[in-house]
Chain A
């Protein structure tokens, strides 16, 4: 009985022990997101929106609900220049390592918008995008998106980010960045190798498909 008692109080004790730490980290994340810092980093919400949903017209990505390790790696890579992006490089450089981590966790914990970003593309284009996403283009050796990004393209761990619920503009821009080499921070050049095999029309279709899908929690 005594042992049982001890077991029952354990979670409460753990909570008490962890609570202040968690709060401090998420406070810092929230502060960076809402206000930026004094070191030249602008507030994330300015472009990525109060709900972390991004901005489709401008091509700013959804951050809410993305994998924390993935986001932190992108910020680290944008700070070091491994991921080349004129807007984000100075911001990421202006954040400390601790701030980059905290703000990544802040957005990972935020619930993604429930509505899909949407697309103006014709239904036939969206369906073509779906076929590419789910089956690939194997006549020329392109694997399906879901083979790595997981069922539904909902993301797998730190290395394969969620594509569902992402803006079409952002996805298209990333393909261009992989193709022209301004983005080259993928594990083992996997995405760069795939990107170079797709045409502009195929990229637009696959981007339209994922933008037509709501964000979903990763399946892993």
Chain B
């Protein structure tokens, strides 16, 4: 790791340490469930699964008939084949499907499963500094991860639109019987602590070319069929998630990669990793050292945008491979 990167991650680290300290104090004072609903910081990492394993989500053959069932099916289709769903695709301004970052069609433990998210909203989010409903949270995914600003509709779906009703029906259905306000085992991604010596973009590059390029392509552009169906998601460039998406944070990407990638080799449900913590951080940094669509919260210049929105572990407005990142894509 070079000196520049050591410097770049310092502010984010500082915040993380503060948060960790806050959590520690909060954790000793309140029971887990109270804390989940009230605390003003991101949730703690959920406990590991006990002997009973993870929440037992329903099978696809258990979707009921009638209007609710139709809403669940439509929401599931919007989630898995976002680029094909007639309404959802109008709000996608890149080449992503929701299920690219939520494996198993949103059902896989430790891959940000929907059944783990449903019961913790409405929730305060530091990202936008107010209490978010699930409706708003999904619109956030469209704005950043799906880069809705460049979509046919020009933005995320409208609040309480049929698409958001459908997607929430799917989430609610998947979480049937799950406790509310509980930090369930398997929720989110496992967090992977930053290695002592930081990370290396150049080491990440060789890991990427050895292990990731076979699917995501050497230039990170993914693979698509001739008629536009996504086969493997793009990781950077104009078809990728934008500079405001959670996945552009190196720690978040490392947590996803560690137990989810390479697909089929890692196993999030068994918490089996194919990469070491160091490798996960290195390759996450390499992925996020490329240009991607601009942060929709653009403040007129990179420095101001960075100061206001990027006080975390990321490379926005930082030097990488001879280039100051954060230019966005055409």
Query: Contact residues of A with B, CB < 8 Å?
Result: 131, 135-136, 138-143, 147-148, 150-151, 156-157, 159, 187-191, 193-194, 197, 219-220
Contact = CB atoms under 8 A, between A and B. Distances in A.
Interface stretch (B20-28, B34-42, B258-266): B258-266
Contacts of B215: 148
B104 interface: yes
Interface in B60-74: 60
B223 interface: yes
A150 B224 CA distance: 9
Interface string B222-233: 011111010100
Contacts of B274: 193
A131 B225 contact: no
B296 interface: no
In terms of DSSP, what is the predominant structure of the interface of chain A? helix
Interface of B: 60, 103-105, 107-108, 210-211, 214-215, 223-227, 229, 231, 262-265, 267-270, 272, 274
9 contacts: A131-B60, A136-B104, A138-B107, A140-B267, A143-B263, A148-B264, A188-B211, A190-B264, A220-B224
B263 A148 contact: yes
B231 A138 contact: no
B265 A141 contact: no
Nearest to A187: B214
Given A135-B105, A138-B107, A150 B231 contact: yes
A193 B60 contact: no
B225 A219 contact: yes
A190 B265 contact: yes
Contacts of B107: 138
Contacts of A143: 103-104, 263-264
Contact of A219 (B210, B226, B263, B272): B226
B103 A138 contact: yes
- Of A141, A142, A159, A219, most buried by chain B (CB within 10 Å of CB) is A141
Contact of B231 (A131, A187, A197, A220): A220
A135 B108 CA distance: 11
Contacts of B268: 141
Contacts of B214: 159, 187-188, 190
A189 B263 CA distance: 11
A133 B184 CA distance: 29
A197 B267 contact: yes
Contact of B264 (A139, A151, A159, A194): A194
Contact of B265 (A150, A151, A156, A193): A193
B227 to A, nearest CB: 7
Given A143-B104, A220-B224, 11 more contacts: A138-B108, A140-B270, A147-B263, A188-B210, A188-B214, A190-B262, A190-B265, A193-B264, A193-B265, A219-B227, A220-B231
Contacts of A142: 264
A147 B267 CA distance: 15
